[in-house]
Amino acid sequence: MKTKVLAIDDSRTIRNLLAATLEEAGFEYHCAVDGREGVDMYAGVAPDVVITDINMPNLDGFGVIEELRGTDINSKVPILVLTTESAPEMKARARDAGATGWITKPFDDQSLIFALKRVTGAVA
């Protein structure tokens, strides 16, 4: 079984990069173009891990984490934040909402895969 990743990012470039990186590394890749779509897709995709951007239209990354961890969805899967933001207070906010980890863009393939393995135990 491939590890299923749901990536939520409003940048087509980043989505394409993630798709290339993750599919090459053997992950099953799904993506959403904004926070709202990501949350809506969650149940259908049933991912093993979520990667989300912070700055997005229609529900930002914090909103995504809050909704996924909220009682309605009550997701237990790891949620990695992938963003250019690196301000500590942003990270604190994300963690308080229930984020699993924080990856700073630009990401390199190796650290991304490494991070995914650490949170999912995926053998890619």
Partner 1 sequence: MSGSIQDTFFEECEELLEAMDEGLTAVEGGDHDPEIVNAVFRAVHSIKGGAGAFGLDELVGFAHKFETVFDEVRSNKVQLDTKLIQLLLRCSDHLADLVAVARDGGSTDEEHHDTLIAGLEEYLDEEEEELTFEPMGLGGPAAPPPLAIESEKNYTIRFQPLKEMFGTGNEPFFLFQALSELGDLKVVLDESELPGFDSMDMAESYLAWDLELTSSEPQSRVEAVFEFVEGLCELSIASDKDDEEEAAALEALNAAFGADAGPLGSGLPEVTPPAAAPAEAPETDTSGPFEAPAPAEEVKVAEAEPVEQAEAASPEAAKKEQRGPKPTLRVELERVDRLINAVGELIINHSMLAQQIANLNAGDMRDVETELEGFKNLARDIQEGVMAIRAQPVKPLFQRMARIVREASSATEKQAKLINEGENTEVDKTVIERLSDPLTHILRNAVDHGLEKPEDREAAGKSRVGEIRLSASHRSGSVCIEIKDDGAGINRPKVKQIAIEKGLIPENAELTDSEIDNLLFLPGFSTAKEVSNLSGRGVGMDVVKNAVTGLGGRISITSTPGKGSTFTIILPLTLAVMDGMVVSVGGQTMVVPITSIVETMRGSDDMINSLGADGTLLSIRGNFVPICDVAGALGLMKPDDQPPGVYLLVETETGQRSALAVDDIHDQRQVVIKSLDGVCGNIPGVAAATILGDGKIAMILDPESIISAGGTAGFDTERRMSNAIAS
Residues that bind partner 1 (CB under 8 A): 10-14, 16-17, 20, 34, 36-37, 53, 55-59, 62-63, 65-67, 69-72, 75-79, 83-84, 86-89, 91-92, 94-108, 111-112, 114-115, 117-121
Q: How far is the CB of 26 from partner 1 (least distance, A)?
A: 16
Q: Which residue type sits at 95?
A: R
Residues with Cβ within 8 Å of 113's Cβ and at least 6 positions away in sequence, in order, are: 21, 25, 124
Indicate the length of the chain as a whole number. Answer: 124
CB of 11 to partner 1, least distance (A): 4
Least distance from partner 1 to the Cβ atom of residue 44, Å: 17
CA atoms of 41 and 45, how far apart (whole Å): 6
Q: Which is nearer to partner 1, 14 or 30 (CB)?
A: 14
Please, which residues bridge with residue 32 across strands? Answer: 8
Q: Which residue type does 50 have? A: V
Supply the minimum distance, in Å, between the C-beta of residue 108 and partner 1.
4
Query: What are residue 82's DSSP bridge partners?
Result: 103
7 vs 65 by CB, closer to partner 1: 65
